[in-house]
Amino acid sequence: MGQTIIEKILSNKSGKKVGTGDIVVAAVDFVMGQDGTSPLAINAYRAMEGQKLFDPSRVALVIDHSSPSPLEGVSNLHTLMRDFSRETGCKMYDIGDGVCHQLMLESGNIGPGSLVVGADSHTCTYGALNAFSTGVGSTDLAGALISGKMWFKVPETIKFVCHGTLPSGVYSKDLILFLIGQVTADGATYLSAEYTGEAIGALSIEARFTISNMAIEMGAKAGLMEADEKTFDWVKRYGGSGFTAVSADPDAVYAKVLEYDVSGLEPQLAKPHRVDNVAPLSELAGRPIQEAVIGTCTNGRLEDLRIAAGMLKGRRVSPDVRFIIAPASRDIYVQAMREGVLETLVLAGGAVVTPGCGPCVGTHNGVPSDGETVISTANRNFKGRMGNRNAEIYLASPATVVASAITGQITDPREFVSR
Amino acid sequence: MEFKGHAHKFGDDINTDYIISGKYKFKTLDMNELAKHVMEDLDQDFYSKITAGDFLVAGRNFGCGSSREQAPLAIKYAGLSAVLAKSFARIFYRNAINTGLPVVECDTDQIEPGDELTVDLAAGVIHNMTRGITIAVKPLPPVMLQILNDGGLAAHFRKYGEFKLDQEENDGL
């Protein structure tokens, strides 16, 4: 019987042929924690009487969620992480370096066939590099830090086949929001997702990251794609080598196969307060917004900032809108600076904040006030997510966010974009 | 292990941001402090309504969203003895087992807010005393049971120094 991508990766990493439902203890290639989860993982490491890391060169801690620290309590936990890094010799990414997931993607350590665990639910992002990467809690992470292994139940796979070509002004964010709306927030729970079809193949690697990033929003354990030239180009650009593509067998068995033609898709938004509460833009156009955010591990990449700058050249955002930009990494920040992208965004009325998670997680960098509406490129719009339970959050593509920032209301980006 | 208490009922898709908001979790490792804010964005007075031993009862996909282990810990430190739900999101489920918070999969349509329940984890049965009915419990997957029986994952690691699990066919996660 043929195998899915995740069955193959888990077979490779556990040293035996495994199938759906098997419990495996698999070797991990890389382990990552961020500042919301690492302090508890360090506690768990001590409780496990950990003496050393399985391999310090394959462990990274990242300060990105509350970065730079806005509070003394946060500062003390950051210091706990820095001390642990010095003690164990693992890689430490500090303030200004960027969002953990973008840093992992840019590390050269992760590529086709890799197995990565991270104490952050959006670790599934690296699925776009044909890697099985998944989010775990702090105690599981501590187990991986010590042993270099993790236990998994081999999941069934749900396959999304996307045919056709995305229309101009419609992006991978619109596609993944649409798919989440179709299957709902628990439509892929305990399952691995595979995204395939010519519409996925046509996407840039950065656009693919957006899709895999949001696999968790349908409950999935992984959001995998097949490797192609774009995948290997990305990995090579960051010094990665020695990876081998992992493809699903033609006779692999799937829990479900869903096929869509994306050629007629219009821009999509997730409405408050659920990511699967998705509607086409035409149903929402005209709603006033007070804050617009571009950034996060979903859409804070160079391609996203270029789209924003392309639309804002010679324009300004509405005086009634606060426009916040959080580049996903230092590398992206510098490149956007060199290209004049940041200059355009700042002159258009934008406020650039430190590379990192920005205002997405509700600790700082743009907490909305009571009764306000935010439009954001992030991946979650739960009540209170941005720090105020009395505000509303819409999720959309960078183009829709920028179009809405210009007019001060939810606006179709196709009025501003031409490809 | 038998628990007795009243049901506090919530709906489907309760995410970990609702269980413990991001604005608190980055500040401290003091779980007693975090526990005061449990479920705050859905019910501002929730913490004050809890009597030790009570149950958090919910619908489908409990614990979806972020991987924060502060979520099961905040529930545990708030004095709730277990979470009963129709289904659980996978990261939360693992985190709950690893940190010693009992999670029980069952038909929660048979439980109304305020109902008095006894939950017998070993026997795998819930008695709804208010309604005089018994509710069946989906058994824990064997691998999870093994971690629980070792006293949680930290104790498992103190004992073996690594993941030492029976790798046969399992039903569940």
pLDDT tens, position by position, A122-173: 999 999 999 999 999 999 999 999 999 999 999 999 999 999 999 999 999 9
Domain termination residue (choose one: A260, A292, A313): A260
Whether residues A65 and B22 touch (CB distance < 8 A) is answered with yes
Would an 8 Å CB–CB cutoff place A366 in contact with chain B?
no
Q: What is the pLDDT of residue B170?
A: 46
CB A210 within 8 A of CB A176: yes
Beta-carbon contacts of B29 under 8 Å, excluding residues fewer than 6 positions away, are A39, A40, A43, A77
Q: Residue ranges of the domains in chain B?
A: 2-138, 139-173
Give the angle subtended at the CA of A385 by the CAs of A381 and A388, to the nearest 5°. 115
Chain B positions touching A150 (Cβ under 8 A) are 163
Statement to judge: residues A13 and A142 lie in one domain: yes
Chain B positions touching A143 (Cβ under 8 A) are 153, 157, 162-163
Would an 8 Å CB–CB cutoff place A384 in contact with chain B?
yes
Residue A220 domain boundaries: 5-260
Domain termination residue (choose one: A200, A235, A260): A260
Q: Which CB contacts under 8 angstroms, 24+ apart, belong to A339-347?
A: A339/A306, A340/A309, A341/A302, A341/A305, A341/A306, A341/A308, A341/A309, A342/A305, A342/A309, A344/A309, A344/A312, A344/A313, A345/A305, A345/A308, A345/A309, A345/A312, A347/A316
CB A334 within 8 A of CB A302: no
Whose CA is closest to B158, among A40, A51, A25, A141?
A51
How does pLDDT run across B105-148, given as a tens digit for each residue?
Answer: 999 999 999 999 999 988 889 999 999 999 999 988 889 989 98
| Domain harbouring A72, CATH code | 3.30.499.10
Q: What is the pLDDT of residue B168?
A: 52
N-to-C CA span, chain A? 44
Q: What is the pLDDT of residue B151?
A: 87
CA distances from A392 to A287, A288, A369, A380, A385 (A): 12, 11, 10, 11, 9
Shortest CA gap B99–chain A (Å):
8
Q: What is the pLDDT of residue A69?
A: 96
* Sheet bearing A278-280, strands edge to edge: A278-280, A268-270, A392-395, A373-376, A291-295, A322-326, A350-352
Low-confidence ranges of chain B (pLDDT < 70): 167-173
Q: What is the pLDDT of residue B172?
A: 41
CA distances from B106 to A247, A345, B60, B141 (A): 38, 52, 10, 14
Chain B positions touching A74 (Cβ under 8 A) are 26-27
CA distances from B95 to A121, A137, A138, B35, B98 (A): 12, 6, 8, 16, 5
CA distance B66 to B72: 12
Whether residues A25 and B163 touch (CB distance < 8 A) is answered with yes
Nearest to A143 among B60, B64, B153 (CB): B153
Mean pLDDT of chain A: 97
CA distance B153 to A142: 9
How does pLDDT run across A7-46, given as a tens digit for each residue?
Answer: 999 999 999 999 999 999 999 999 999 999 999 999 999 9
Query: Is residue A64 domain-resident?
Result: yes
Q: What is the pLDDT of residue B167?
A: 64
Statement to judge: residues A227 and A170 lie in one domain: yes
Whether A419 shows a pLDDT value over 90: the answer reads no
Within chain B, how many helices (H) and strands (E) appear? Answer: 8, 7
CB B170 within 8 A of CB A25: no
CA distance A255 to A8: 16
Instruction: Select the residue from B66, B101, B144 to test the A interface by mutation, using most A Cβ atoms within 10 A.
Output: B66
Whether residues B29 and A43 touch (CB distance < 8 A) is answered with yes
Statement to judge: residues A202 and A56 lie in one domain: yes
Question: Region A320-330: what's the mean pLDDT?
Answer: 98
Question: Region A383-396: what's the mean pLDDT?
Answer: 97
Q: What is the pLDDT of residue B173?
A: 42
Give φ, ψ of A194 to 5 degrees.
-115, 130
Statement to judge: residues A144 and A184 lie in one domain: yes
Given the DSSP bridges, would you call strands A373-376 and A322-326 parallel, antiparallel or unpaired? unpaired
Question: Region A234-254: what's the mean pLDDT?
Answer: 98
Statement to judge: residues A45 and A83 lie in one domain: yes
CA distances from B78 to A173, B22, B55, B111 (A): 38, 17, 11, 21
Q: What is the pLDDT of residue A32?
A: 98
CB A336 within 8 A of CB A301: no
Whether residues A40 and B60 touch (CB distance < 8 A) is answered with no
Q: What is the pLDDT of residue A161?
A: 98
Statement to judge: residues A249 and A321 lie in one domain: no
How deeply is A233 buried, as exposed, middle or buried, from its count of CB atoms within 10 A (0-12, 13-18, 19+)?
Answer: exposed
Q: What is the pLDDT of residue B66?
A: 95
Whether residues B22 and A48 touch (CB distance < 8 A) is answered with no
Q: In 3-state terms, what secondary structure has residue B40? A: coil
Query: Is residue A417 domain-resident?
Result: no
Query: Is residue A265 domain-resident?
Result: no
Length of chain B (residues):
173
Topology given in CATH for the domain delimited by B2-138: Aconitase; domain 4 (3.20.19)
Statement to judge: residues A91 and A113 lie in one domain: yes
Question: Region A223-228: what's the mean pLDDT?
Answer: 98
How does pLDDT run across A287-308, given as a tens digit for each residue?
Answer: 999 999 999 999 999 999 999 9
Where do we find the tokens 């289904």?
B87
CA distances from A318 to A39, A125, A190, A345, A411 (A): 41, 33, 43, 13, 12
Would an 8 Å CB–CB cutoff place A363 in contact with chain B?
yes
CA distances from A375 to A69, A179, A292 (A): 25, 20, 5
CA distance B173 to A22: 10
Statement to judge: residues A245 and A278 lie in one domain: no
CA distances from A230 to A77, A181, A246, A305 (A): 38, 28, 15, 20
Statement to judge: residues A339 and A370 lie in one domain: yes
Shortest CA gap A22–chain B (Å):
5
Statement to judge: residues A255 and A283 lie in one domain: no
Beta-carbon contacts of B104 under 8 Å, excluding residues fewer than 6 positions away, are B82, B83, B84, B85, B119, B121, B126, B137, B138
Q: What is the pLDDT of residue B148?
A: 85
Question: Region A401-405: what's the mean pLDDT?
Answer: 98
Chain B positions touching A50 (Cβ under 8 A) are 157
Whether residues B68 and A36 touch (CB distance < 8 A) is answered with yes
Nearest to B87 among A49, A120, A186 (CB): A186
Domain termination residue (choose one: A260, A295, A316): A260
Question: What is the ipTM, given to two decimal places?
Answer: 0.94
Residue A220: CA atoms inside 13 Å, Cβ hemisphere, count?
A: 35
